[in-house]
Structure 1
Amino acid sequence: MTDMSAARPRLSGGPPGGSAGRAGARAALLVLADGRLPAGGHAHSGGMEAAVVDGGVRGLDDLAGFLRGRLATAGLLSAAFAAAACQISHGHDETRAPAAGDLLAALDAELDARTPSPAQREASRAQGRTLLRAGRAAWDLAGAALPAAPHHPIALGVIAAAAGLEPADAALAAVYGAVSGPASGATRLLGLDPLAVTGLQARLAEELERTATAATTAAEDAVASGALDLLPAPSAVRLDLLAQRHRVAPVRMFTS
């Protein structure tokens, strides 16, 4: 059997050089953002199931409002921390992995402080663990310094760096996931027209780009200044409440 491990991109101080290497890295972004990636995302609705149960989302218009609200809060948060984790991973090679590990642990703690809902913390770490399993099957993470059971955005940023992606790419993958998961969940829960939901997601493209750009800028500033506490901390009280209600629901289609 051919050993494919040597073909995996290694974690280094930055994206691979040359146009061919960058093209390969961009293709890796598609892999990370693909809903079919076996990283457990299909089991989480991002609060959509609880929102449908309490009547907050009943149709396409409600879904649009929910996705925009989630993008501006949980989406921005995830994107900023994914970008920061990617930047930290790029800035520390294997010989300085302990220093990177300390920074990533501090980053993980900052994200924990911004996630007041125990249910959301649990879901984020569960998705982080599953994403790491998928990431290790695709890229060489041997040189990556990771905290134990990292939050999903932290795992996403580290894997993006291992794949040769930039912080902006990690942020874009994060904001896409912040809306694609709930959108898919709404289609299944409400029986919405998949074409209409796809059209809605396409119309959000510019907002996704703006959010990812803002998150990347915030991450670069925070990491460069060594002040991780300056990373965004948007509040999403409704999402927190939905997560807690869903956690104790007697019947659930999704884990979160």
Structure 2
Amino acid sequence: MASVDKPTPTTTNSDAQDPAPAAASARDDVKTVTEAALFEAFGGVRGMVETVLPGLLFVSIYTVNKDLHLSAIAALAVSLVMVAVRLVRKDTVKHAFSGVFGVAFGVVFAMMTGNAKDFYLPGMLYTLGLALAYIVTAIAGVPLIGLILGPVFKENLSWRTRNPGRKKAYTKASWAWGLILLGKCAILFPLYWWADTTQLGWVLVTLKIPPFLLAVYLTWVFLAKAPPPIDVFAEMEAEERRKASETG
């Protein structure tokens, strides 16, 4: 019988551990990891600057003096400088290198045709091809955004068969990217035929960042609501440790 002086403690609902804070913390962790992964995959603010600056420099110089050669050389030079800065600082150069190749193709194409508008044509064709790739892969059940982000999240292709919630999120994100880029192309290609070089250039520079940010935001929304990624690298390491312990 319990002592009158020391009553037996009772557990009430208010004393029980509330699972809501733990669930909220887990959701916050998923969102934080998703933000970091998207930042790494798409280059963040610096990557956006490296994407915009060459085209901005080209159209600015061409607007002032209509000199195709000077505009093209300046755009290519600033791209090379940005790569050099990354190399000196030992940063990742994949975003800067992609910018250099894009600018180089534009410069070569414009020089060959003598038409300043053709500086933008390779990039526009690339955008169209990328839009179609996002849509086709989403239809095929292998969404491109999942192929891009899977290694970043350390899940590789586990989302295809083991994590249907993430596959669904990647499919939605790929559709978003595809439709947004198609909308961008629907604006730019008519301007390529009807507008002059400066008009096309300024519209293209204006459309560099907002559609990209919208697509990244929607990707974050879809993935933040999806189940967390399966860390296949951690699984492999755990399996190796298990085998080592068994053989040891």
Q: Same fold (TM over 0.5)?
A: no
Higher RCO (CA < 8 A, seq sep 6+): 1
Larger radius of gyration: 2
From the two aligned structures, give the one with the greater helix fraction: 2
Q: What TM-score do the two structures reach when normalised by structure 1?
A: 0.31
